[in-house]
Amino acid sequence: MSLSKRKKTKGSKKELTIKQKRIVDLAKIAWAETLKEFYYPPLNEPTYLFDYTHLEGFYIDPENQWEITMNLANTPLFNDDQEYIDYFHSISLHEVSHYQIIPYDGLTNAKLLRAAIENVNPNYAPIVVNVFADLIIDYLLYKKYPNLITWEVKVTYEHIKNKGRMSDFTKFLFRSYEKIWNLNLLNDDSLKSIDPLAERVSKVILKDFEDESTWEKKVSTVARHLNNLIQDSFTMVGKNVVREKGKEKIKSPGGAFIEVPNDVLEVMGNPLENKNSDKLKESNEDERRQKAEEFAKNIPYSEFGGPARQAGILLDGIPLATWYRGLAKNLIEIRILEEQPSGQLPVYPEVWRIGDRIEDLDIVQTLLNSPVIIPNLTTRKWAYEKGPGHLTEKQIPDLLLVLDSSGSMKWNYTSRIERGRGPYHVALVAAFAALHYAANKGVKFSVINFSNKADVCQWTADFKKAERVLLRYQGGGTVLPIDEIVQQCDKAERKALIFIITDFGIYNWSKSKKIMLDLAQRGHKIVGFFIGASKIPKDKFKTLLDKVTFYGIRDAKDLIDLVITEVKKYYL
């Protein structure tokens, strides 16, 4: 049964009994104490309920604005109130640690999911990340609250054991706690059957424990160790398949339905849930989008979409656009500078004479020259000269991107290596970098994607519209859409900066050069990037190079490292 269906069950809506209300009050005391110990993180108080159809004790409810829910239905029975408080305190410490320690945000979560996917099915990746996070968290909590944490684990273990059969996965979890704490806490020889696996995983967790930069590598290793156990414990099934007895059917963030053993749900909650604080924040779409772009840097496209979507940071409908946005972000900076005059600067002292302004008399310089003040002889003032000018950045004009998507500009964005992605990939990195520089400056932009025909995005301030046109690879012939370029320049509210990104395979250069020269003479600024060219052949363009700027770009690194300083000359 999925989380959303379980949320709608009648068990969660019944009027609470007096005893249940008392337990809720005790849970609230424990929650308040937990927030105090974490210095009051920005987490709302959970919704407390008793839902006996729902085995997880602590989860995020996606049906109700991602609020935290604490289900108290399956709480062990205790003799006094303090034991309830201690139990809920331990549980709360653990769960809040997911949002404060690991994975704590969507970017970290996505990186860990990507690492897990190296060695397990993408639908099982959250299980690995949650196990890794649980062991990290509970090792830290044990160091700070040893008595509380070990007591809660023993109580939970007995509670699960008394219910009947315990899965190997749950045995692994408990035995791993004993290994990382170096304790024979549970005194149960049946757990020793899982010793080799628990030993390997605990060693991975404890090695260089304080070094968070090792998390991704560790998660990948833990995934490799756990792969067989996960496949034996969890089963991917069809949506309409009747669940196996003793298991719950839950939809993974990867889209598959997976049967999860009931005891696993009670011990660690939903192992498929991605626990990070980004989902709990309101109005943080820009923050999550920026994290998706950050995650996209330096990783193949095939490893981007799945983890980003599961971690909840991929908000746009086109993962490829987000990926290119991340690759190109802040990689090109166009600085258009002009010189501004400076003020007067004192250069050297000279004689102050009667008739000069009294304000110009410098007493200090006068006394340094002679202790006796004699007008016209010892009196001094400063001679001033105009200081050197300084450069200030001007706002760039509206930007027209003209992108070649012909067959010679091959494109294979799924390649895992940079050089295998083709010239069009290089062109897109350039185009996205320029586009988002313009977008960040608040100017309008237009896009012309051309091959045999021109696909035009009209002038806009919406970068998503422009991105969609950039990503429409055509793969035909190479005819520079000079008529469309002229039309867009005519539609521009002011003079345009035109970026042309292409190779040298243009069929209509003769006509294009004449019109480019005319556009430049009309005040538009043209900068051409020629993919695959080591230098620009001056004899081919002749006098055109006096009016426009062309760059030869051998590969993406050449383009990324390029600072377009010559553009400023068009404004002097």
Q: What is the C-alpha separation between 177 and 346, in angstroms, rounded?
A: 74
Q: Cis peptide before 261, with omega less than 30 degrees from 0? A: no
Query: What pLDDT was estimated at residue 338?
Result: 54
Closest-CA residue to 312 (of 294, 333, 285, 347):
285
CA torsion sign for 394, 400, 401, 407 is negative
Give the Cα-Cα-Cα angle 335, 340, 344 (nearest 5 degrees): 145
Residue linked to tokens 């979409």: 305
Give the pLDDT confidence of 223-273 residue by residue, as tens digits: 999 999 999 999 999 888 888 888 999 999 988 999 999 999 999 999 999
pLDDT at residue 4 above 50? no
pLDDT at residue 473 above 80? yes
| Average pLDDT of the residues in 73-81 | 92
> DSSP letters of 92-129?
HHHHHHHHHTSS-SHHHHHHHHHHHHTTS-GGGHHHHH
Say which residue, 391 or 144, is predicted with more confidence.
144
Indicate whether this model's pTM tops 0.75. yes
pLDDT at residue 20 above 80? yes
Edge-to-edge strands of the sheet including 247-251?
235-237, 257-261, 247-251
> DSSP letters of 394-418?
EPP-EEEEEEE-STTS---TT-SSG
Query: What pLDDT was estimated at residue 343?
Result: 60
Which two structure tokens, joined as six digits, stand for 550?
Answer: 């062309």
Query: What pLDDT was estimated at residue 527?
Result: 87
**DSSP-based helix, strand, coil % in the chain, nearest 5:** 50, 15, 35
73 near 11, Cβ under 8 Å? Answer: yes
pLDDT at residue 90 above 70? yes
Model confidence band, residue 384 (pLDDT cutoffs 50, 70, 90): confident
Query: Which domains does the chain carry?
Result: 3-282 (no CATH), 342-388 (no CATH), 394-571 (3.40.50.410)
Give the pLDDT confidence of 405-439 residue by residue, as tens digits: 999 889 999 998 888 998 899 889 888 888 888 88
Question: Which of 190-204, 268-282, 402-416, 471-485 is the least confident region?
Answer: 268-282
- 260 sits in which H/E element: strand 257-261
Q: What is the C-alpha separation between 288 and 308, in angstroms, rounded?
A: 10
